[in-house]
Amino acid sequence: MQKPEKNHHILRVIFTKYILQNPINRKLMLPVFFTMIIAKYTEVLGARQTENISKMIKSGETHLSTLLMYSLVYVVSIVLVEIQSFFICRVGQAGYRLANRDTLGYFLDLDPARFNGFGLGEIQNTVLRRSQAVQDMIDVFTLNFFPTFLTILFVSYEVFRGMGWFVVMIINISVVVYLMLTIKITEWRNKMRKKLNAAQNKTSNLMMDSLCNFETIFSYKSIDCELHKYNSSLKNVEYYSTEIARSMYLLNLSQRGVWCAMSICIIFVSCYGSSQRISIEKFTFLIYITGLIMKALDNFGFMYGKYKAAIINAKVNGIEMAECRPDGYRTAFRLNNQIVASNLTIKKGINCIIENASFSIKRGDKVAIIGKNGSGKSTLLKSLIKLNDFEGELMVDNIRLKDLTDASLKSIITFIPQSAILFDDTVMANIKYANGKLFDEEIFRASKEIGTHESIIKLQNGYYTLVGEQGKLLSGGERQKILLLRAILRQSSILLLDESTASLDKESEHKILSSVLKMQNLTVIAIIHNLELISLFNKVLLVNDKKVEEVSQLNVLGDECNDDSIN
């Protein structure tokens, strides 16, 4: 079992990856921190200038130099604090963007088995939480933890100079008690936050499931049932959110109690613990300096909770912060000879789908896979691109399929699944997707060659028609034509079709498949149900009763392969 990342490791990765390795952020940090140090010291120096103003008022005299110095310190303090915040906010935003990109890349790079273990709502929440965690972590340290440390350091120095070590000791003891209470209550809050995250994931998955099954819900009039399930899940979110909110008020009460006790102790010590009574100017200095501590500590409590929440979100789903995506595809790999399966066995759980199958497919073969529904045709096809685990051997040009990198495999195989889902963009953008820098003329020529051009130009804006979310503004047949055209333009060695023409009318299906299958060097492996297309293929694989066997076209069209084995 993988050990969870330590907090210090997460911090190291965040500051290394998203600050030190980012050129712009790296250049910003040194001048920003230098400005922060000057700003905090100037802010604390304001207490001394406030004391001087009090002395001047008490004496009844007016000193222009004192007023100017007070004004200068006050203005410089405000300007420097805002300037460093103005520049440093860019660091957190850049961290958010890069972490968002990296986390999405992590999920897109998962093998299908692991990817399918996550709900889409869970993935969406994870991407947002981890990117927000990186931004929060950067903001917490740069905008609070380090400035708070500087404030306490400079305050201790000024208080020691003005009021002695005993008051400094009271301040620092109060800070320690404040931090201990904050940590204790925040740890309890974070237990609630973990449960809230789990409840939100479940709720998000339920919502996505309902939205994806809109037509079923509409047809069965089951809206009330769906809303009841969703509302039940939302109740858990409501409960944990309420507990977290209440704990924040408890935290605020505890923190202000410590602050109140510290202020009272300092005032009593200043008034009764010294042989000399406190002066008006010293009391003014004390009010100002304790106000700075209150401001720093009050914000620190909120920021510490933010820090702990960021740590939890950074660890969500056990994804290592240091995990990153591969650098890209290797040199393109081509199929030169054949694909050979030997004693191929595919299981799903305890169920055996394909058992001891052996067959070979030569370069340029056009192979039809047939069989009844549920016989394992799609399972067999997906095994060729490692979407399913298998036992036995699958060889590509005498190289074990399992030894091929995902990049090499993807460079030789293009797979079109049953679900014809498009990106929410134009037809042209979907055709060009992952196809490099194609010229429009190349696309038009290929589209005419396989017989999809006429139907595309009949769309509202032709190739620049918006397809809508998942392509829902187009018919199933139009979506399949776009996917086929994109696959052909990719010029892979092998084309896998999982009923990828099933939504086309018979005439269009025959015309397009005929054009595709005439490409000599292209190896095509297609699952089909329309047996009228069998004559277009030179090899037929029948999947039946866990077995895969090569059959002749005559047998398929004759009595030997009847409706019990083929749908």
SS (H, E, C) 40-97: HHHHHHHHHHHHHHHHHHHHCCCCHHHHHHHHHHHHHHHHHHHHHHHHHHHHHHHHHH
What pLDDT sits at residue 470? 86
Report the alpha-carbon distance of residue 388 to residue 403 in Å, rounded: 15
Q: For helices 23-59 and 146-163, what crossing angle results, to 10°? A: 30
More confident residue, 511 or 164: 511
**What pLDDT, in 10s, does the model give residues 147-178?**
888 888 888 888 888 777 888 888 888 888 98
pLDDT digits (tens, 9 = 90+) for 370-407: 988 888 888 888 888 888 888 888 888 888 888 887 77
How many Cα atoms are found within 13 Å in the side-chain-facing hemisphere of 405? 12
d(CA 447, CA 469): 23
How high is the pLDDT of residue 317?
58
Q: Given pLDDT bands bounded at 50, 70 and 90, which one contains residue 331?
A: very low
Confidence of residue 241 (pLDDT cuts 50, 70, 90): very high
Q: What's the chain's average pLDDT? A: 82
CA dist., res. 338 & res. 28, Å (int): 56
Residue 321: pLDDT band with limits 50, 70, 90: low
355-376 confidence digits (pLDDT tens)? 898 999 999 999 999 988 888 8
Query: Strand, helix or coil at 2?
Result: coil
pLDDT digits (tens, 9 = 90+) for 273-313: 654 566 777 778 877 887 888 777 776 666 777 787 788 77
Q: At what angle do helices 440-450 and 506-517 cross, to 10 degrees?
A: 110
List, in order of start, the domains of the chain with CATH numbers: 7-318 (1.20.1560.10), 338-557 (3.40.50.300)
3-state helix/strand/coil string of 362-418: ECCCEEEEECCCCCCHHHHHHHCCCCCCCEEEEEECCEEHHHCCHHHHHHHEEEECC
Rounded CA gap, 172 and 180, in Å?
A: 12
Q: For residue 230, what pLDDT is reported?
A: 92
Per-residue model confidence (pLDDT) at position 236:
92
Q: How confident is the model at residue 565 (pLDDT cuts 50, 70, 90)?
A: very low
**Whats the size of the chain, residue-wise?**
567
Between 62 and 255, the higher pLDDT residue: 255
Question: Rg of the chain over CA atoms, in angstroms?
Answer: 34
Residue 2: what pLDDT? 45
Where does residue 498 fall: left (phi above 0), alpha (psi -120 to 50 degrees), or beta otherwise? beta
Whether 5 has a pLDDT exceeding 80, the answer reads no
Query: What are the residues whose beta carbons fall under 8 Å from the beta carbon of 265, sequence distance 6 or more?
Result: 170, 174
pTM: 0.60
| Stretch 472-483: mean pLDDT | 89
Classify each residue of 3-15 as buried b or exposed e, where b means 16 or more C-beta atoms within 10 Å of its C-beta: eebeeeebbebbb
**323 band by pLDDT with thresholds 50, 70 and 90:** low
